[in-house]
């Protein structure tokens, strides 16, 4: 005799692992494309640096009849070829060694059957074709712009698109301060590129640093804002002798993207939801704060929800909000619930209770929601992705160092002749470093401190995007210490680069001043 059934789409034993792995896709793609832009940025800076070093050769070739298109294709070959080779190697590793690493993460979290590795055309386009196109376009733009100068300017090593303006008159500061300001003004294009590079690398670092605190904060907020210790969802209305238990109604409706929205009917003077000023008018509801944030709604808006299988649609006006992070839901009175969903007077589907109800037979209980059930999602995410976040932080630090080194080195290499001339005039290596490296230090530290709050808002947009593709909502709350960690990591990374640049200045010979091509 059939007593119950669950449709395949609603069977979490079948669907949950696939849906959860699928939701990771959005986060990983976001991370991938941020990373690809960073790498494209590194390639572009390297290509531009190479063009400036080979300016005399380029000017000669242009004067000899070579076109910009030919030179553009020449300088585009290396980044395109390297990206293509990396993509090929990445695919080989992805279908051999790395697939076992990834699968071990998911087998650690789920009880999955044996899998078979299959070629995935969509994954090939997303992880290989699109990244190659992105890097090629970034480099094409930078290289083409760098080669727009006429041959004579290349021969003179003059990389200004416009006529040089007169030197700016600086305030009456100390000599060394004015000298450093002059260095910064003369290298503004390079420093602007450095600022953007730091922001890109910082975004990747912020990604790794912020996600673990987000999960921890969500778990804490869920526990602190529980409606009660036990939520009983019944298969049929069953009375209990526990006077502390409070009846409620609940059904599941769906947004336009088929995400579940819980609709609660509660008592007007609920002891468990006393902060919910539940409206008495029909079709007016109080929405959870997470629902408002995820769908960019506000008090006064109207929302239309639907049945999953039927054609019924319900329009509600949001007249208030309630901070309940455990669910995307709306609240109304029990009477309005029964009226809207055509239920009998006195109908209910469950109980709120701070005590375990012992007089209800288990066969009438569909679900019992406790603290453990509410934090299962975050525990699972932390368990399966926690190590990935740590690896991401380490990888981000490496990218941070590479970017800072390439961009800081660019300033030194542009001023090699000037540094050499300073040495001829009697300045020591240490004094030359104080002039040039400290100018770069001021810009770098300033860029790090300014980029931290900017990255917070940029990441907020990315976060909303990939969270919209996932089920549920984690409030975007980043603790203050994450910003401190970002700033400290950035400064430490630059401190390492500073000593490397000091050695580079030490290696500049006095004869370099005699090699002017102007």
Distance between CA atoms of 20 and 15, rounded to whole angstroms?
A: 9
pLDDT exceeds cutoff 90 at 287? yes
pLDDT exceeds cutoff 60 at 164? no
Rounded mean pLDDT of 436-444? 82
pLDDT exceeds cutoff 90 at 316? yes
Tokens 């792995």 label which residue? 21
The two tokens of residue 124 are 């090939």
pLDDT band at 513 (very low <50, low <70, confident <90, very high): low
pLDDT exceeds cutoff 90 at 392? no
What local confidence, expressed as pLDDT, does residue 32 receive?
Answer: 79
At CA 78, angle to CA 74 and CA 83, rounded to 5?
135
What local confidence, expressed as pLDDT, does residue 318 receive?
Answer: 93
**What digits encode the pLDDT tens for the residues 325-381?**
878 999 999 999 999 998 888 889 999 999 888 888 888 888 888 888 777 766 666
pLDDT exceeds cutoff 90 at 303? yes
Question: Is the pLDDT higher at 512 or at 32?
Answer: 32
What local confidence, expressed as pLDDT, does residue 13 receive?
Answer: 65
What local confidence, expressed as pLDDT, does residue 249 receive?
Answer: 93
- Give the pairing of strands 329-333 and 260-266: parallel
Calculate the CA 382 to chain-centre distance: 17
Distance between CA atoms of 103 and 177, rounded to whole angstroms?
A: 57
What local confidence, expressed as pLDDT, does residue 238 receive?
Answer: 87
pLDDT band at 54 (very low <50, low <70, confident <90, very high): confident
**What digits encode the pLDDT tens for the residues 185-237?**
777 777 777 787 788 778 878 888 888 888 888 888 888 888 889 899 988 88
Check residue 166 and report its DSSP letter. P
Question: Is the pLDDT higher at 23 or at 511?
Answer: 511
Q: Where are the alpha helices (DSSP H) in 125-187?
A: 130-146, 151-155, 175-186
Residue 429: exposed, middle, or buried by beta-carbon count in 10 A (0-12, 13-18, 19+)?
middle
**What digits encode the pLDDT tens for the residues 448-481?**
888 888 988 888 888 887 777 777 788 888 888 9
pLDDT band at 284 (very low <50, low <70, confident <90, very high): very high
| DSSP H or E run through 233 | strand 230-234
Question: Is the pLDDT higher at 103 or at 401?
Answer: 401
At CA 334, angle to CA 332 and CA 335, rounded to 5?
105
Rounded mean pLDDT of 486-507? 87
pLDDT exceeds cutoff 60 at 442? yes
Cα separation values, 81 from 75, 84, 88, 133, Å = 11, 5, 11, 12
Q: Delimit the domains of the chain by residue range.
A: 1-158, 171-226+371-518, 230-369
Rounded mean pLDDT of 35-56? 81
**What digits encode the pLDDT tens for the residues 105-149?**
667 666 777 878 888 888 888 888 988 899 999 889 988 888 888
- In the chain, the N- to C-terminal Cα span, in Å, equals 95
pTM assigned to the model: 0.71
pLDDT band at 265 (very low <50, low <70, confident <90, very high): very high
**What digits encode the pLDDT tens for the residues 63-93?**
888 888 899 999 998 888 988 898 889 888 8
């Amino acid at each position: 005799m059939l007593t119950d059934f669950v449709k395949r789409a609603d069977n979490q034993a079948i669907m949950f692992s696939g849906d959860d792995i699928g939701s990771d896709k959005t986060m990983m793609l976001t991370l991938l494309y941020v990373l690809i832009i960073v790498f494209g940025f590194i390639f572009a800076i390297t290509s531009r640096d190479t063009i400036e070093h080979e300016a005399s050769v380029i000017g000669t070739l242009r004067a000899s009849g070579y076109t910009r298109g030919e030179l553009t294709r020449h300088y585009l070959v290396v980044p395109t070829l390297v990206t293509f080779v990396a993509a090929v190697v990445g695919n080989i590793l992805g279908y051999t060694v790395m697939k076992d690493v990834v699968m071990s993460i998911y087998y650690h979290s789920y009880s999955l059957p044996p899998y078979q590795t299959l070629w995935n055309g969509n994954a090939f386009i997303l992880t290989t074709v699109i990244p190659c196109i992105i890097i090629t376009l970034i480099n094409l733009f930078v290289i083409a712009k760098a080669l727009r100068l006429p041959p004579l300017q290349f021969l003179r090593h003059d990389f200004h698109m416009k006529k040089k303006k007169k030197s700016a008159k600086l305030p009456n500061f100390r000599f060394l301060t004015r000298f450093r300001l002059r260095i910064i003004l003369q290298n503004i294009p390079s420093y602007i590129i450095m600022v953007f590079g730091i922001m890109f690398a910082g975004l990747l670092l912020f990604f790794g640093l912020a996600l673990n605190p987000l999960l921890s904060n969500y778990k804490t907020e869920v526990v602190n804002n529980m409606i009660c210790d036990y939520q009983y969802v019944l298969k049929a209305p069953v009375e209990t002798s526990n006077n502390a238990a409070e009846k409620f109604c609940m059904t599941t409706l769906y947004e336009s993207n088929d995400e579940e929205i819980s609709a609660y009917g509660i008592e007007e003077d609920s002891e468990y939801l006393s902060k919910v000023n539940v409206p008495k008018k029909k079709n007016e509801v109080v929405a959870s704060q997470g629902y408002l944030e995820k769908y960019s709604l506000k008090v006064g808006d109207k929302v239309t929800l639907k049945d999953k299988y039927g054609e019924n649609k319900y329009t509600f006006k949001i007249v208030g909000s309630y901070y309940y992070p455990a669910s995307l839901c709306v609240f109304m009175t029990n009477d309005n619930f029964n009226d809207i969903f055509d239920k009998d007077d006195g109908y209910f589907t469950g109980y709120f209770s701070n005590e375990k109800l012992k007089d209800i037979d288990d066969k009438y209980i569909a679900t019992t929601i406790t603290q453990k059930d509410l934090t299962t999602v975050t525990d699972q995410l932390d368990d399966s992705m926690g190590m990935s976040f740590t690896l991401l932080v380490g990888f981000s630090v490496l990218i941070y160092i590479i970017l800072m080194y390439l961009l800081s080195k660019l300033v030194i290499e542009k001023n090699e002749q000037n540094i050499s001339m300073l040495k001829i005039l009697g300045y020591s290596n240490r004094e030359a470093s104080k002039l040039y490296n400290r100018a770069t230090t001021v810009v770098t530290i300033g860029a790090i401190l300014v980029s931290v709050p900017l990255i917070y808002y940029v990441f907020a947009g990315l976060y909303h995007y990939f969270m919209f593709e996932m089920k549920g909502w984690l409030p975007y709350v980043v603790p203050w210490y994450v910003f401190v960690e970002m700033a400290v990591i950035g400064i430490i990374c630059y401190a390492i680069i500073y000593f490397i640049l000091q050695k580079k200045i030490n290696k500049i010979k006095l004869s370099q001043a005699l090699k002017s091509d102007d």
